[in-house]
A and B are shown apart, each in its own frame.
Chain A
Amino acid sequence: MSFGALIGIFLGVALVNNMVLAGFMGICPFLGVSRKVDMAVGMGCAVTFVMTVSGVVTWLLVHAVLTPIGAAFGNPEALYFLKYVIFIMVIASMVQLVEMYLRKFFPSLYTAFGVFLPLITTNCAILGACLLIDMKPEYQNLLNATVFAFGGGIGFMMAITIMAGIREHIRFSDVPRCLQGPGITLLMAGMLALAFMGFTGIGK
């Protein structure tokens, strides 16, 4: 596997098929935690960490535990029905880990996140990354899967930070009352998605 191919995977998931703006995953934190740039960056870092680690751990569990045990009973895919339950358990424990770490070392960030920190568990981008790694044959290789998960996290961080930057400015604009809050945010997200469509074709 060449280095160029890894860069292709990274750019593909971070820019071309950005998980938030083209894949519609992680919309809840994208709309909920994008009011301030510093919080958006913190959220992006937490998600990137959880996504990378869970991507690797779930890959290992599928390829090094489920498949061999299934194969021992004659059918490598015999235990695949357990996948979803295992994925969500891994993600929940990773989030617990990040929560404990933040509470100990960055208490101010911990209080700023509030309820959104445990909600990373239900961030579809993370489970989505694990599922995509599991579905696509090109991520049979652990290195590719790791780069994919890391790129997905960076893409999420980029989208949410850009959004937070725009929202800090729009606070001083005269938005029609019915569009205030989620309405205008979704419209801006639509335009951001249009802009990101310009990346189509990179890395191929």
Chain B
Amino acid sequence: MAEENGSNFRQFRDGVIGNNPVLVQLLGMCPTLAVTNTLENALVMGAAVTFVLVMSNLVTSLLRHQIKPHVRILVFTLTIATFVTIADLVLKANMYEVSKKLGPFVPLIIVNCIIICRAEVVAIKNGLARSLADAFGMGLGFTTALSILGAIREILGSGSLTLPGGATSLKLVQLPAAFEPHAWIIMVLPPGAFLTLGVVIGIVNQLRYRKVKGGAA
């Protein structure tokens, strides 16, 4: 039993660090690039994807003995589409402003490769505990990667990092005022997304090579 828990924990940790869906597996690129212009958008998107991922892994894992192999992709897609509809309606009802900013990218979670990939690789073959551990790990890994990109782009693009929340608005980072006139507006525009992600992936690769080299020595 202890071993079982250990492997579940490893499954969770792999999703966040070793096998991060965005930075290592390069899945789910579209929302990664599109909604990371501010930290707030990145966090909301991460939460929505985590919710859909957890629910779709849960349903797939429970139904894994009933699903016939040749219709499995169809079942996955319909499950995901259902939960995305729920997430979209909840966002529209409670966080209308953010939902408007995310635009078509909330419904586009349906075609996010991470979710269908986890259903196919893990949930259809494994029990509930393991599938849930995997979903939470991958969801957290996705949210972390998006937040890193969102933070970098917001700081360089506007000179500060804020978590808006009405009266409890939280200013996390403020670059010196001298930076303000030279803020890289390009970072919050489309090209900034590609450039930031390219550089971050380069850094992650460099760290991985160094780790492999260190392990061999």
Contact = CB atoms under 8 A, between A and B. Distances in A.
B8 interface: no
Nearest to A187: B198
A183 B205 contact: yes
Most A-side CB within 10 Å, residue of B78, B84, B104: B104
Contact of B192 (A28, A132, A182, A190): A190
Contact of A81 (B30, B85, B108): B85
A84 B107 contact: yes
Contacts of B202: 176, 178-179, 183
A187 B195 contact: yes
Contacts of B103: 135
A25 B190 CA distance: 12
A193 B193 CA distance: 10
A30 B111 CA distance: 15
Contacts of A123: 111
A169 interface: no
Nearest to B201: A183
Interface string B177-216: 0000000001001111111011101110110010000000
B122 interface: no
A92 interface: yes
A184 interface: yes
A92 B191 contact: no
A88 B110 contact: yes
A176 B189 CA distance: 26
B206 A128 contact: no
A28 B209 contact: no
Interface size class of B (residues with CB under 8 A): 35 or more
Interface stretch (A16-24, A34-42, A53-61, A140-148): A16-24
B103 to A, nearest CB: 7
Contacts of A24: 29-31, 33-34, 190, 193
B170 interface: no
B199 A187 contact: yes
Contacts of B27: 28
A84 B186 CA distance: 33
Nearest to A26: B30
B205 A190 contact: no
A193 B199 contact: no
A186 B194 contact: yes
Contacts of B84: 84
22 contacts: A23-B34, A24-B34, A25-B34, A27-B33, A28-B27, A31-B26, A31-B29, A84-B81, A84-B88, A84-B107, A84-B110, A88-B81, A88-B110, A92-B77, A124-B111, A135-B104, A178-B205, A179-B201, A186-B197, A187-B195, A193-B191, A194-B191
Given A31-B26, A127-B111, 9 more contacts: A28-B30, A122-B111, A124-B108, A128-B104, A128-B108, A176-B202, A179-B205, A189-B198, A190-B194
Interface of B: 26-27, 29-31, 33-34, 74, 77-78, 81-82, 84-85, 88-89, 103-104, 107-108, 110-111, 113, 116, 186, 189-195, 197-199, 201-203, 205-206, 209
Closest 6 CB pairs of A and B: A186-B198, A190-B194, A24-B34, A190-B195, A187-B198, A27-B29
